[in-house]
Structure 1
Amino acid sequence: MHQLAYLSVMAKAEKKSGRPVYKTFKSFFNYEEAIRKVLDEPKKTESRFASLGKYLKERGE
């Protein structure tokens, strides 16, 4: 419940000038982008030892 209260306060946040921080809910939380992040496979990054692994596989060790 505390998370819901915190997010509610953040969504209604205002700048010092009195203007809202988030003009629309989409600028506060982009649902489509969150779904895309969950469904996409994580990008594999080449590790430091990837070339070493390839070398050892070629040699059969």
Structure 2
Amino acid sequence: MTVPEYELRMKAYQLQMLDRQYEIHMQAWANVMAGQTKKGRPVFRTFEKFFNYRKAEQKILGKKQKQPSDTKNLQNWIANFNS
């Protein structure tokens, strides 16, 4: 087995483990939504806030995630503050 082939197999294994983590987090998310709340509201409002699959995948693949602009961060903060 060559080094590039080994690296490719390792990346495939990591992606397979990521899919398994996704399944585990999806089950945990379903459990949270079924009962656990904080002051009558869910602790995590979206699944992506609970587990960001795309971010984890990009980390494995070595891709950089595009950072949102400061304006977008401010808008998100205001929206969450008013909720």
Higher radius of gyration, 1 or 2: 1
Query: Greater helix percent: which structure?
Result: 2
Query: Greater strand percent: which structure?
Result: 2
The answer, yes or no, to whether TM exceeds 0.5 is no
Q: Name which structure has the greater RCO, CA cutoff 8 Å, separation 6+.
A: 2
The two structures have a TM-score, normalised by structure 2, of: 0.35
